[in-house]
Amino acid sequence: MSRAGRIGALLGAAAALIGVAAFLGMAWGGWGSATGTGWSAPAPIGVDADAAGVEVAIDGAGGLHLAWFDRRQGRSALFYRYRSPGGEWTEPQRVTESRWWIRRPTLAVNGRGDVVVLWELASRRQSTLRASVRLAGEAWEPPQTLAPVARGFHSVEVAIDERGGISAAWSSVGGGDSTWGLRRPAGEGWRDPVQLAGLRSGLPIALDVSASGKTLVVTGDAERPGTARLVAVSATPDGRWSAPRGLGRQLPGARLAVALDDRRAVAAWVGPPETGARRRGVLRAAEGSPDGRFGAPRVLDRGRDDTFGDLVALRDGPRSVVAWGRWGPRADGGAIHAAVLGGDASTSSRVARWAVPAQEAEARFAPPPPHLRGVAGDGVVTLAWSRAGGPPAAPLMRVESSSLGRDEYAWGSIEAVPGRSQILIARAVSGSESVVRAVLLAGSLDSPRYELIESELRR
């Protein structure tokens, strides 16, 4: 990373840390009889600010997993370290190294602490997608090459189920811009990737896996030049892939989200209106089964396609929740929306809305839509979002809900928390306890190190 790039990145990260002292000790509260530890002071995680591609994940016990790459003296290396709940960080482990460029690590963990990381290894002639796995309590497996491609990857998604099975999907650049999927069943070795029924597009990919290993991929399938449709492709836990099933029309570069459990699935996407009007977007969502058979989609929102921000799909018992960010004219700010899907497609969804005020009313350009993350389970939904484009002290916001019935939640009030827009929240359930943990990664101009701010809410 160049000095200018590093300074720019640190300036953005430092903006999130200014004003943190004013928020330290703030409990989450507002979740029934919940108690919160409050937000911790920023703590170093032993990763230099020169490092790149820092990925963080939380397992079911609350353990933190970090992966990142660094390039020094002409060699690239991928590193990993772990911190048990209440413990200390392990020494960094070198997962792999090469004289070529290691880029774009993608990290996933399951509840028991199994870890998988995928990364791109780029040489002068080609790029390869590589992977390594570390089962809980064991050493890293030797890196495995999953796919060689001509010019890199559009997007890569990976997930690991509670049994240790791994599902991955990626779209490559060159050679037809193909989309590929791979399923490694629990207890088995890597298999050859499967081209997902000849999908030929550079659209994003959404992937999720259930606890038992059912896999669902939603992506684009270009039927002819200038057009595309949205399709769902599923895989069984033992790695048998289905044919693609049409889900709707899709705009290139549009937002996608999918979530599933062992009984139901929900998909949400931003696509064109029925009239095909340019630069207009329609947010649709559909529920279905984990094998990719969805019912008729319902419309949740309409607007300019460039005003839609992050899109989140969640499953919570019998309910599906879709949350999204929107940004309006620069003086009006934006809003976070959440819809609870229930009944058939003709049933109007209950939509909650929270305003995200403009931070600078006189701004010349409208800031991007708020960044949004969410987690659901045990009848509770947690949403957290940034107030993008504001002054340095702009906080992160969050809201909690509790279930009232099959298709309704009682949403609590918005609370401000310190942090930056890169957020990760995860739920851990142990016995009768349900814990939501949030982790924020940030940098500092005072120290060339990444730092971590964390909190938990115990119900």
pLDDT in tens, 24-70: 222 233 333 445 555 666 677 777 766 777 888 888 888 889 998 88
Strands 372-377 and 350-356: what pairing? unpaired
In a domain, 4, yes or no: no
- Residue 273: domain span: 44-384+396-405+424-433
Q: Please write the tens of the pLDDT for every residue from 310-344.
A: 899 999 888 899 999 887 765 556 788 999 886 55
Is residue 293 a part of any domain in this protein? yes
Residue 359 has a pLDDT of 55
Q: How many structural domains compose the chain?
A: 1
Is residue 368 in some structural domain?
A: yes
Contact 432, 450 (CB under 8 A): no
Q: Are 40 and 453 in contact (CB under 8 A)?
A: yes
* 36 inside domain: no
CATH code where residue 137 lies: 2.120.10
The model's pTM is 0.83
Question: 129-143, 302-316, 435-449 — which is least confidently predicted?
Answer: 435-449
Task: Count Cβ atoms below 10 Å from residue 327 Cβ, excluding itself.
Answer: 24
- If you write DSSP's letter for every residue of 406-449 in order, what string do you get? TTEEEE---EEE---S-EEEEEEEETTEEEEEEEEEE--SSSSE
Residue 254 in domain: yes
Whole-angstrom distance, CA of residue 415 vs CA of residue 423: 15
CA distances from 214 to 160, 162, 172, 184, 395 (A): 10, 11, 24, 12, 37
Could you tell me if residue 459 is inside a domain? no
pLDDT in tens, 239-289: 999 998 988 766 555 689 999 999 999 999 988 777 666 778 889 999 999
In a domain, 419, yes or no: no
* Residue in 132, 91, 90, 130 with CA at minimum distance from that of residue 114: 132
Q: How far apart are the first and last CA of the chain?
A: 42
417 band by pLDDT with thresholds 50, 70 and 90:
low
446 within some domain: no
Instruction: Note the pLDDT tens digit of each residue in 71-122.
Output: 877 788 999 999 988 788 999 999 999 988 888 889 999 988 999 999 998 8
